[in-house]
Amino acid sequence: MPVARTTSVALIGLNGSIVEVEADLSSQLPAFVIIGLPDAALGEARERVRSAAINASCPLPSRRLTVNLSPAALPKHGSGFDLAIAMACLAAAGDVDPESVASVVHLGELGLDGRLRPIDGILPAALAASRAGYGTVMVPAANADEARLVPGLTVIGVASLLEAAIRHGGRFDDSGLGAIEPVTAAGRESAPEPAAGDLADVSGNGPAVEALLTAAAGGHHLFLVGPPGAGKTMLASRLPGILPDLDHEAALEVASVHSLAGRQLGAGLSFRPPYEAPHHTATAAAMVGGGSRLIRPGAAARASHGVLFLDEAPEFPGAVLDVLRQPLESGSITIHRANSVATFPAKLQLVLAANPCPCGGAGTPTDECTCPPAVRRRYMSKISGPMLDRIDLHLWVHRVTAAGLRMAHERPGISSAEARRRVAEARAIAAERLRGTPWRTNAQMPGPWLRGPGGLHPGGRATAELDRTLERGGITMRGYDRVLKVAWTLADLAGAARPDSSHLHQALFFRKATPA
């Protein structure tokens, strides 16, 4: 057969494109040529494929092999095309069934000994193949469980090139197949889990717990300010535990991002919201994603449908915090490179935590602040005004007093299970109210809809105080709309049909909370 074909997948961000792999065998001097815009790692497939075929006892013929990756203008990165290239070459040589090879999408990297090594991004690649209409994919054995997370897709896990060739009708000596040990996915980190603990562990800080419930019920961003030891990190780590489970589509998207980031996935989908807490030394690329050729997701993308917690927020470089401004509005991250554009989801809840000043004593009745006023202003100004304007809830977290601790012991706080039930009920109310719209949580509602069909018209009795605050310049128009969103969440938690002046007042308090 002069030309044999099979398919693979090229990933740019989470988006996968089907790539046709063509192999032509001609009667010329022995050579192996790969064309179609391969990068350096893909260009090295010539040596990997030829050596793997020899050592797997299914050698390629000593003739000229030309492999074309189509469409040629599409950038192709990495070693995940090795298996497809090898199978197309064997089909061109007549050693395997070309029709069988053409009907399967092949993904995997070859070792020089012929074994198949696991690769990153198998889940989004398998999803792309399924959405393109392909029903079968062949992947390394270590990636098989991950690929099987795609519903309705037939997954063939193979340990070596020889096993793959035999499955496609190749007649080779298979006596050594049983001795081949599949390459494991050792060394791949798992997604971080939120700190273990129950919301009931938070003692003597009722307003902070109420703010956390509000943030969870409406999908709002949260800014916690308070002295060291007030419990800001404890509160933030409890937020994922009171969020509802993800639906199947969101869980699949979260797993796809983690797969592309090179993280180990379990045998089944996790339906719990993710939690990311990068250190304040993180760069802008580490926060939103990047890379010169292969674009990887950053912490914000990995936290999509979950919580991104930035502890000691003023210690982050201002430019790193400001790269989150656009994703917080749009819910997505777009990274531009000279030859490609990658898009990642960023439907996250942002939680910032900060001390009131470098020494941590400002605004507390017991500690004396030793920071000059200019140092204090410079410290908090590292979080820009436009960034703070995008945060719905601002809360001053007080240290727990001995009296508060005694009261908490006598009357324990709400547990995470009970809080999650209340959050789920509030979200169900919001989803029913927003039925027929593209939004499901209060934080997603746009301002014009809130002030129109949403029913909270400026100039009404309920919004009177909020209107005066806007008139005095106390909040921006964006802040005005975010107060309305929080008011709806407070009403949903209370079971009210619509927000009244008390809900608006409390939402405005959350917006303007300052050290007491």
Whether 304 and 399 map to the same domain: the answer is: yes
Q: Which amino acid is at 419?
A: A
Q: What is the pTM of this model?
A: 0.91
Q: What is the pLDDT of residues 329-344, one digit of tens each?
A: 999 999 998 878 899 9
CA distances from 55 to 49, 52, 111, 303 (A): 10, 5, 10, 43
User: Is residue 22 situated within a structural domain?
Assistant: yes
pLDDT band at 516 (very low <50, low <70, confident <90, very high): very low
User: Is residue 344 situated within a structural domain?
Assistant: yes
Six-digit token string for 332: 């997505």
Residue 145, pLDDT score = 92
Q: Who's near 162: CB < 8 A, 6+ residues apart?
A: 56, 57, 58, 114, 172, 174, 176, 177, 180
Region 20-27: what's the mean pLDDT? 94
Residue 78, pLDDT score = 87
Whether 92 and 230 map to the same domain: the answer is: no
Whether 165 and 65 map to the same domain: the answer is: yes
User: Is residue 514 situated within a structural domain?
Assistant: no
- For residues 264 and 313, which has the higher predicted lDDT (pLDDT)? 313
Which domain range does residue 142 map to? Answer: 3-179
Whether 229 and 152 map to the same domain: the answer is: no
| 85 contacts 49 by C-beta, under 8 angstroms | yes
The most confident of 161-165, 290-294, 361-365, by mean pLDDT: 161-165
Q: What is the DSSP string of 92-151?
A: HTTSS-HHHHHTSEE--EEPTTSBEEP-TTHHHHHHHHHHTT--EEEEEGGGHHHHTTST
User: Is residue 112 situated within a structural domain?
Assistant: yes
Burial class (CB within 10 angstroms; exposed 0-12, middle 13-18, buried 19+) of 38:
buried
User: Is residue 453 situated within a structural domain?
Assistant: no
Whether 37 and 133 map to the same domain: the answer is: yes
Number of domains making up the chain: 2
Q: Which amino acid is at 250?
A: A
User: Is residue 442 situated within a structural domain?
Assistant: no
Q: Which of 65-79, 130-144, 152-166, 197-211 has the lowest mean pLDDT?
A: 197-211
User: Is residue 512 situated within a structural domain?
Assistant: no
Chain-centre distance for alpha carbon 334:
13
Residue 193, pLDDT score = 63
Whether 121 and 231 map to the same domain: the answer is: no
Region 138-145: what's the mean pLDDT? 94
> CA dihedral in degrees (22, 257, 315, 401; nearest 10)?
-170
Whether 123 and 249 map to the same domain: the answer is: no
Whether 325 and 402 map to the same domain: the answer is: yes
Element (H, E) at 489: helix 477-494
User: Is residue 446 situated within a structural domain?
Assistant: no
Residue 245, pLDDT score = 95
Whether 272 and 308 map to the same domain: the answer is: yes
Residue 426, pLDDT score = 96
Residue at a domain's end among 378, 407, 436: 407
pLDDT band at 210 (very low <50, low <70, confident <90, very high): very high
Whether 316 and 365 map to the same domain: the answer is: yes
Indicate which CATH number applies to the domain containing 341: 3.40.50.300
pLDDT at residue 1 tops 60:
no
Both ends of the chain: CA-CA distance in Å? Answer: 81
Closest CA to 422 of 508, 339, 492: 492
Whether 47 and 171 map to the same domain: the answer is: yes
Indicate which CATH number applies to the domain containing 141: 3.30.230.10
Reported for 425-428, long-range contacts at CB under 8 A and 24+ positions apart, including other chains, are 426/217, 426/218, 426/489, 426/492, 426/493, 427/217, 427/244, 427/492
Whether 175 and 228 map to the same domain: the answer is: no
What one-character DSSP code corresponds to residue 395? E
pLDDT band at 473 (very low <50, low <70, confident <90, very high): confident
Q: Which amino acid is at 382?
A: K
